[in-house]
Amino acid sequence: MNRTNYLTVMSTMTDPVQNFVEAMGLRFQDQQMPRIAGRLFALLLVEGGPFSFGELAERLEVSRGSISTNARMLAEFGLIERVAKPGDRQDHYRIATDGLAPIFRKQMGRMREMSRHYRLAAEHLPSVRTDARRRLMAAAVLSEKAIEGLERGLAEAEAILAELEVPGEREPA
């Protein structure tokens, strides 16, 4: 769906939660991830949880199988977590307590690995390949500076969030 159509669809919705859920589904899809995963993440981000597969499937109007597949994927990413409810044998999911921080940490790890590959390739190219070496080193430096920015931003965000938290208080689900 192109941006114009997306905006038209979103402007016809009156429920802000539904707007957000649908928008996140499209954003995930833009990032080559399942749309349902984005919708599931968005719903849990807003509502908190825990919710059973059945509750999530009903709320998102998808199959329990789709919820199961996408919930496992989001749990592996660290965005949501599986929890048990006393007396209930079903799996339940809620938004992860660490929020988005694990995703940023994983991304930084991938970027570090790529930077190492850029530098290693540049070091092993023959000296006559100066243009290729320069491009590889530029990629390494850009990656490293982006990582520094993410690290700094994540530390600042975590400090702000720590100040906002009141021990023993949680928002009602």
Segment-wise mean pLDDT, segments of 10 residues, the chain, 173 residues = 50 81 95 95 93 94 95 91 87 85 86 97 95 97 96 91 66 50
The angle at the Cα of 109, spanning 74 to 107, to the nearest 5 degrees, equals 45
| Residue finishing a domain among 75, 95, 115 | 95
pLDDT of residue 173: 46
Could you tell me the CATH number of the domain that includes residue 29?
Answer: 1.10.10.10
Domain of residue 85 covers 3-95
Contacts of 84 (CB under 8 A, 6+ apart): 92
Which helix (H) or strand (E) covers residue 85, if one does?
Answer: strand 80-85
* In-domain check, residue 173: no
Question: Residues 25-44, buried b or exposed e (16+ Cβ, 10 A)?
Answer: bbebbeeebbbbbbbbbbbb
Return the SS3 of 128: coil
Please give the model's pTM, rounded to 2 decimal places. 0.71
| pLDDT given for residue 130 in this prediction | 95
How many domains would you assign to the chain? Answer: 2
